[in-house]
C-alpha cells in the first residue's frame, strides 16, 4: 500500500524525494505528491497518475525548491485516485503523508465538524488526520503527535511537516512499516529500505508508537510517552544494484533470472554436511518431532507456496497440514492445539491479514514460525521462530523469486520434519537435500530451455478472454500460482482447477480455442492428467502441456508442449514454475501491459 518518504539535508529535496519514490512506486502508483519547505514555506505539488505524471507537472508548473520535505506514492483506499485525493494533505499549519488506514476516521471527522473544522477538500482518511493534528497543535509538535496517536485507530505511518518548524520532518509509526535513514549530514524516512539505498545503507527501524525528528541532518527519537529513545543503527545488506533493473527491461524478468542465486543463498546456510539444519532459525529436530498438526497461513502467492508445502510435508513427514488464506483463517475461529505449528509465509512481512494471524496464535499454546523475506519486518519480529528467505529485494509487484525461495524453505522444512519424526531415513534425507542443492543449476537450464517456447506460446494467449490451468497433486498446487501470475499481469481471466474436478461443472466453460494449460510433471498421476487433457481437447480447447523432457504425451493431447528438465518428482514444482512465470511475463509484455506495476495492485498489502 502507499509509500512514504522524507528528507532533510543539503541535497535538492525534490530530487531526493522523487528518486526515493521511484523505488517505492511498487507499493502504489495511482497518484503521487510531495511537500517541500521553500524559503520557510511549505510548497505542495501533487498529481493523479504515475510518478512521471507528477514530474511532468512540475516541469511545466515549476518544482518546489528546498532541503526538507516529504513525499508519497498512493494506492487508493479512501477516495478514488484524483489530484485532490493525492497526498500530501494539509490542515492550516500541518501537512502530512500517510501509509495505512485510519479505521475511525468518520468519527474523527464528525468530531472536527462539531468543532467547526469543516474545510475538508478530499475524501481521504488522511486529510482527517492532518486536520486533527492542526486542531490539537499548540506549538509543540511532539506533544501534538502524541495527542493524536491516542485518537487514531488503525495501522499507519505518517510523515509530517509543521509550517512553523521549517527544515524539520517528523515521522511516526503505528503498524505500517517505516525506516529512518542516516547519511552524512542528511536523514531520510521511507516505507522500505530500497528507497534510500542510493544515499545510504544505514537506517533505524522505527518501532510501534515511536516518533522520529529529522533536523539539521540528524535524527532523534522518542516513544509514545515522549521519552527519548536510543536506537541501534542497522546496515542494509541489499545494495542499490540489487534494487535496480540491471539491464533487464522489467524487474519481473530480472527477478526470474535471479532465482538460482536466491535459492542458493536461501538454502546454503541451512544445510550442514548434506543434512538440513535450521538451528540458526531457532528450529531444532526436538521442536519438530512433537508437532501435531501444521497450519500454513498466508495470502496470494505466499499461500500458493504453502499449498506446495502441504503436499510435500504430508507426503514425506506424514503430518497433517492445513493451508489457509490469512483473511479467512483469522476470522474462522480455527482449532489450534497445544502441539500445533502455525507457519506464516510472507514476502513483505507486513501483510495485514497474515500479521493478524500471529495475534491469534499468541492466544494459544501453539508455536508460530514466520517464513519472511524482509528482515526486521513486523511478522518476522512477532513470530516465535523465523526462517528468512534470502531473495533480496523483490520490486516487481508479481512475485517470482520470493515464491521460489518460499518453495525452497517448504522443502527444507519438509525434509527436516520428516527426518525428525523418523519418516525418512538419513540416506533418503541426504538424497532429497542433494536434489535441492542441484535446483539453482536446473532453474538456469530451464530458463534457457523454455524461454523461446514461452515467448512464442504467449502470442497465442493474448487474444484469450479466459483460460484454465489444470493439474493433479503437486501440479495442481503449482497451477494455482501459474494462474494467479498470468491473470494479475496479463488481465486475462484465469482459473486453476484440480484436473479431476473439471467435469464436475467447470468443463462447461471450455469452448473452441480456449487455452488450457496443463501441468503434468507428476508421473504417478500422468495417465489420469492426460485423460483430463484429452477431455478438454475433445471440446475444442487449445492445450499447452508442461511436462518433463522424457514424458511421452499422446500427439493428439497437446497443441503445444513445454518440456522442462527432469528431476525427482517431489522437487518438480521448482522447475515447472519457471515456464509458468515466463508465459505470464511474455503474455503481459505482448499485450503492452505495465508488467511491473499491474493495475489496481500494490506490492505490500498492509490493510485488510
Ligand atoms: C502476487 C503477489 C501477492 C502476494 C500477497 C502476499 O504476485 O505477490 O499475491 O503474494 O499479497 O504478500 P506477502 O507475501 O508480502 O505477504
Mean pLDDT of 538-556: 94
Which residue owns the Cα nearest ligand 1 atom 16? 346
Q: Measured from the CB, is residue 395 less than 6 Å from ligand 1? A: no
Q: Given pLDDT bands bounded at 50, 70 and 90, which one contains residue 76?
A: confident
Distance CA 85, CA 33 (A): 10
Q: Given pLDDT bands bounded at 50, 70 and 90, which one contains residue 75?
A: confident
Distance 382 CA to ligand 1 centre (A): 19
Interval 419-474: pLDDT, tens: 999 999 999 999 999 999 999 999 999 999 999 999 999 999 999 999 999 999 99
| Local structure of 183: helix, strand or coil | strand
Q: Measured from the CB, is residue 346 less than 6 Å from ligand 1? A: yes
Whether pTM > 0.75 for this model: the answer is yes
Which residue owns the Cα nearest ligand 1 atom 11? 300
Distance 49 CA to ligand 1 centre (A): 23
* Residue 375 reports pLDDT greater than 90: no
Distance 347 CA to ligand 1 centre (A): 7
| pLDDT over 70, % of the chain | 100
Q: Among 24-33, 64-73, 211-220, 305-314, whose mean pLDDT is lowest?
A: 24-33
Q: Measured from the CB, is residue 302 less than 6 Å from ligand 1? A: yes
| Residue 425: other Cβ atoms inside 10 A | 10
Specify the length of the chain in residues.
608
Distance CA 203, CA 4 (A): 15
Distance 264 CA to ligand 1 centre (A): 22
Closest approach atom of ligand 1 to CA 400? 7
* Residue 239 reports pLDDT greater than 90: no
Picking from 21, 28, 25, 61, the residue whose alpha carbon sits closest to that of residue 44 is 61
Q: Measured from the CB, is residue 301 less than 6 Å from ligand 1? A: yes
Q: Which of 27, 191, 298, 302, when mutated, tests ligand 1's pocket best, judged by the most ligand atoms within 8 Å of its CB?
A: 302
The pLDDT of residue 62: 94
Distance 392 CA to ligand 1 centre (A): 15
Point out the residues that are catalytic.
Answer: 2, 603
Q: Which of 251, 347, 352, when mutated, tests ligand 1's pocket best, judged by the most ligand atoms within 8 Å of its CB?
A: 347
User: Which H or E run contains 31?
Assistant: strand 31-38
The pLDDT of residue 224: 87
Interval 36-51: pLDDT, tens: 999 999 999 999 999 9
Q: Return the DSSP state at 118.
A: -
Distance CA 385, CA 88 (A): 38
The pLDDT of residue 275: 97
* Residue 177 reports pLDDT greater than 90: no
Distance 239 CA to ligand 1 centre (A): 23
Distance 318 CA to ligand 1 centre (A): 28
Mean pLDDT of 178-185: 96
* Residue 119 reports pLDDT greater than 90: no
Q: Return the DSSP state at 268.
A: G
Q: Measured from the CB, is residue 482 less than 6 Å from ligand 1? A: no
Q: Measured from the CB, is residue 373 less than 6 Å from ligand 1? A: no
| Residue 40: other Cβ atoms inside 10 A | 10
Lookup result for grid cell 544494484: 241
Interval 554-599: pLDDT, tens: 888 999 999 999 999 999 999 999 999 999 999 999 999 999 999 9
Interval 14-36: pLDDT, tens: 999 999 999 888 787 889 999 99
User: In the chain, how many H helices and how many E strands?
Assistant: 17, 27
Q: Measured from the CB, is residue 605 less than 6 Å from ligand 1? A: yes
Closest approach atom of ligand 1 to CA 351? 16
The pLDDT of residue 588: 97
Give CA separation, 71 vs 32, 122, 240, 260, in Å: 8, 18, 20, 36
Mean pLDDT of 362-390: 94
Q: Measured from the CB, is residue 348 less than 6 Å from ligand 1? A: yes
* Residue 240 reports pLDDT greater than 80: no
Interval 249-284: pLDDT, tens: 999 999 999 999 999 999 999 999 999 999 999 999
Closest approach atom of ligand 1 to CA 374? 15
Q: Measured from the CB, is residue 399 less than 6 Å from ligand 1? A: yes
Using only C-alpha atoms, what is the Rg of the chain?
A: 25
The pLDDT of residue 118: 80
Distance 301 CA to ligand 1 centre (A): 5
The pLDDT of residue 379: 94
Mean pLDDT of 236-254: 83
The pLDDT of residue 42: 97
Interval 83-100: pLDDT, tens: 899 999 999 999 999 998
Mean pLDDT of 178-194: 95
Closest approach atom of ligand 1 to CA 605? 11
The pLDDT of residue 28: 77
The pLDDT of residue 244: 77
Amino acid at each position: 500500500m502507499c509509500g512514504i518518504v522524507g528528507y532533510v539535508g543539503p541535497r535538492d529535496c525534490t530530487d531526493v524525494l522523487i528518486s526515493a519514490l521511484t523505488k517505492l512506486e511498487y507499493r502504489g502508483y495511482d497518484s503521487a505528491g510531495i511537500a517541500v519547505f521553500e524559503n520557510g514555506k511549505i510548497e505542495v505539488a501533487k498529481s493523479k497518475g504515475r510518478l512521471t505524471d507528477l514530474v511532468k507537472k512540475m516541469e511545466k508548473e515549476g518544482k518546489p525548491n528546498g532541503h526538507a520535505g516529504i513525499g508519497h506514492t498512493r494506492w487508493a483506499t479512501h477516495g478514488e485516485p484524483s489530484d485532490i485525493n493525492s497526498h500530501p494533505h494539509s490542515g492550516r499549519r500541518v501537512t502530512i503523508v500517510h501509509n495505512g488506514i485510519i479505521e475511525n476516521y468518520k468519527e474523527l471527522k464528525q468530531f472536527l465538524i462539531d468543532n467547526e473544522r469543516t474545510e475538508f477538500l478530499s475524501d481521504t482518511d488522511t486529510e482527517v488526520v492532518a486536520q486533527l493534528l492542526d486542531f490539537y497543535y499548540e506549538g509543540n509538535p511532539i506533544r501534538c503527535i502524541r495527542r493524536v496517536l491516542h485518537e487514531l485507530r488503525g495501522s499507519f505511518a505518517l510523515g509530517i511537516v509543521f509550517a512553523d518548524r521549517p527544515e524539520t520532518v517528523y515521522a511516526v509509526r503505528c503498524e505500517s512499516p517505516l525506516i529512518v535513514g542516516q547519511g552524512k549530514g542528511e536523514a531520510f524516512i521511507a516505507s522500505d529500505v530500497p528507497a534510500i539505498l542510493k544515499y545510504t545503507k544505514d537506517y533505524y527501524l522505527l518501532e510501534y508508537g515511536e516518533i522520529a525528528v529529522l533536523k539539521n541532518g540528524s535524527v532523534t527519537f522518542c516513544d509514545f510517552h515522549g521519552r527519548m529513545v536510543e536506537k541501534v543503527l542497522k546496515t542494509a545488506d541489499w545494495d542499490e544494484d540489487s534494487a535496480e533493473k540491471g539491464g533487464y527491461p522489467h524487474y519481473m524478468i530480472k527477478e526470474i533470472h535471479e532465482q538460482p542465486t536466491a535459492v542458493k543463498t536461501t538454502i546454503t546456510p541451512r544445510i550442514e554436511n548434506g543434512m538440513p539444519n535450521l538451528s540458526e532459525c531457532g528450529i531444532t529436530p526436538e521442536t519438530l518431532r512433537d508437532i501435531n498438526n501444521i497450519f500454513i497461513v498466508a495470502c496470494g502467492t505466499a499461500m500458493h507456496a504453502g499449498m506446495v508445502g502441504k503436499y510435500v510435508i504430508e507426503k514425506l513427514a506424514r503430518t497433517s497440514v492445513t493451508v489457509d488464506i490469512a483473511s479467512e483463517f483469522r476470522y474462522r475461529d480455527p482449532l489450534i492445539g497445544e502441539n500445533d505449528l502455525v507457519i506464516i509465509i510472507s514476502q513483505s512481512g507486513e501483510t495485514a491479514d497474515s500479521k493478524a494471524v500471529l495475534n491469534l496464535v499468541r492466544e494459544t499454546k501453539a508455536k508460530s514460525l514466520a517464513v519472511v523475506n524482509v528482515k526486521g519486518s513486523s511478522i518476522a519480529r512477532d513470530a516465535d521462530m523465523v526462517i528468512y528467505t534470502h531473495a533480496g529485494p523483490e520490486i516487481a509487484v508479481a512475485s517470482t523469486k520470493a515464491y521460489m525461495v518460499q518453495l525452497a524453505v517448504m522443502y527444507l522444512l519438509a525434509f527436516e520434519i520428516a527426518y525428525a519424526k523418523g519418516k525418512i531415513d538419513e540416506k533418503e534425507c541426504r538424497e532429497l537435500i542433494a536434489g535441492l542443492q542441484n535446483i539453482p543449476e536446473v532453474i538456469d537450464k530451464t530458463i534457457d530451455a523454455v524461454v523461446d517456447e514461452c515467448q512464442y506460446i504467449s502470442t497465442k494467449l493474448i487474444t484469450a478472454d479466459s483460460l484454465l490451468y489444470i493439474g493433479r497433486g503437486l501440479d495442481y498446487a503449482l497451477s494455482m500460482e501459474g494462474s494467479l501470475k498470468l491473470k494479475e499481469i496479463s488481465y486475462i481471466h484465469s482459473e486453476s482447477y484440480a484436473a479431476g474436478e473439471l467435469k464436475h461443472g467447470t468443463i462447461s466453460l471450455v469452448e473452441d480455442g480456449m487455452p488450457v494449460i496443463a501441468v503434468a510433471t507428476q508421473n504417478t498421476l500422468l495417465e489420469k492428467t492426460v485423460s483430463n487433457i484429452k477431455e478438454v481437447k475433445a471440446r475444442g480447447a487449445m492445450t499447452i502441456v508442461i511436462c518433463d523432457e522424457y514424458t511421452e504425451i499422446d500427439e493428439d493431447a497437446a497443441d503445444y508442449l513445454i518440456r522442462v528438465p527432469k528431476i525427482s518428482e517431489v522437487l518438480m514444482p521448482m522447475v515447472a514454475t519457471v515456464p509458468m512465470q515466463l508465459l505470464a511475463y511474455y503474455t503481459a509484455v505482448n499485450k503492452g501491459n505495465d508488467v511491473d506495476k499491474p493495475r489496481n495492485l500494490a506490492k505490500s498489502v498492509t490493510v485488510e
